[in-house]
Amino acid sequence: MIHPMISARVYFSIYVVLMILLALTVGAAYIHLGLFNPVVAMSIAIVKASLIILYFMHIRYSGRLRWIFAGIGFFWLAILLVLAMTDYFTRGWLPLPAGWE
C-alpha cells in the first residue's frame, strides 16, 4: 500500500495548533465557567486527540479497516465514560454511614 508523503510543514503546523490548544486548555482552567468547565476541557481534549490520531498516527491516509478500528476505540471510550458518569451521578443516592462526615 502506497502512503502519501507528508511534509514537515504539515507536522509543524499541527504542532503549532496543538500548542495553541494547550494554551487554551490552561487558560480555560483559570476561567470560572461554572458547569461548562468540563465541557470546554473535554471539547479541547477531543480536538487535540483527533489531531494526534489523524496525523501522528497516520490514520488520515490509511485504509478503511484502520478507520473502523479507530472508531471502535472511540466507541469503547464513550461506553467507559458513560459508565463512569453513571457511577459518579448516583453516589449521592445513599446516605453516608455514621461517623464518615
C-alpha cell at 48: 487535540
Cα→Cα distances 57→35, 60, 61, 91, Å: 33, 8, 10, 38
Q: What is the pLDDT of residue 5?
A: 84
DSSP 35: G
How far is Cα 6 from Cα 24, in angstroms, rounded to an integer? 27
Distance in Å from the first CA to the final CA of the chain: 62
Q: What is the pLDDT of residue 1?
A: 61
Confidence (pTM)? 0.72
pLDDT tens string for the chain (101 positions)? 677 788 899 999 999 999 999 999 999 999 999 989 989 999 999 999 999 999 998 888 888 999 999 999 989 989 999 999 898 888 877 777 788 76
- Classified as helix, coil or strand, 6 is coil
